[in-house]
Amino acid sequence: MEFLLSTAIGLLTAGGVYLVLRARTWPVVLGLALLSYATNLFLFATGRLVLNLPPVISPEAAAYTDPLPQALVLTAIVISFGMTAVIVVMALRSYLENGSDHVDGKQEDAA
């Protein structure tokens, strides 16, 4: 499971970094989304990986999983979702006002 999760985080991060470095705003937005997914998975893993353990106190439980990273991930998901919406709108507005979706606002021949 550790191998699966770490490769997933690694692949998402690699894809995200590649896309963020692209010259058009839409790939950049997708890259940021991938990076935020990778971050959420990573945050989730910081509480250590365990199976079938409850995060809140219950009388039957023998051990617990760390509930804090789950709360952090929840906060991070909300914020990154909202931020993705913001940058989509701003990228769209920039495309409409500049007539180009190049991140520097330059035309095709520059790339």
Partner 1 sequence: MNHWIIAPIVLPAIMAPILLMGARHDIVLARIFSIASTVALLGIALALTTMVSDGTILTYALGNWVAPFGIVLVADRLSVMMLVLTAALALAVLFFAIDGGDRDGRHFHALYQFQLMGINGAFLTGDFFNLFVFFEVLLIASYGLMVHGGGASRVKAGVQYVAINLVGSTLFLIAVGMIYSVTGTLNMADLAVKVPQIAAGDQALLQAGALLLLLVFCVKAALVPVHFWLPGTYANASAPVAALFAIMTKVGAYCVIRLYILAFGADAGAATWLAAPWLLPAALVTLSLGMLGVLAARRLGQLASFAVIGSMGLLLVGVALFTPVALSAALYYLLHSTLAGAVLFLIADLLARRRPGEDDALTVAPRFSQLSLLAGAFFVAAIAATGMPPLSGFIGKLLILDAALDNRQFALIWTLVLGTSLIAIIGFGRAGSTLFWKSTGQPGCFPAQAESNALALVAIGLLLAGNVGLTLFAGPLTSYLDATAEQIFSTQHYIEAVLGSTIPEGGKP
d(CA 38, CA 26) in angstroms, rounded, equals: 19
Sequential DSSP letters for 10-55: HHHHHHHHHHHTSSBHHHHHHHHHHHHHHHHHHHHHTT---SS--S
Instruction: Verify binding: residue 7, partner 1, rule CB under 8 A.
Output: no
Is the Cβ–Cβ distance between 38 and 12 less than 8 Å? yes
Answer for which of 86, 107, 110, 111 binds partner 1 (CB under 8 A) is 86
Shortest reach from residue 91's CB to partner 1, in Å:
5
Distances (CA, A) of 44 to 83, 91, 100: 20, 30, 38
- Size of site (CB under 8 A) for partner 1: 33
Nearest to 49 by CA among 75, 70, 71, 77: 70
Answer for which of 93, 107, 110, 111 binds partner 1 (CB under 8 A) is 93
Residues 12-41 touching partner 1, rule: CB under 8 A, are 20, 25, 28, 32, 35-36, 39
Shortest reach from residue 40's CB to partner 1, in Å:
8
Q: Which residues bind partner 1 (CB under 8 A)?
A: 20, 25, 28, 32, 35-36, 39, 42-43, 45-48, 68-69, 72, 75-76, 79-80, 82-83, 86-87, 90-91, 93-94, 97-98, 103-105
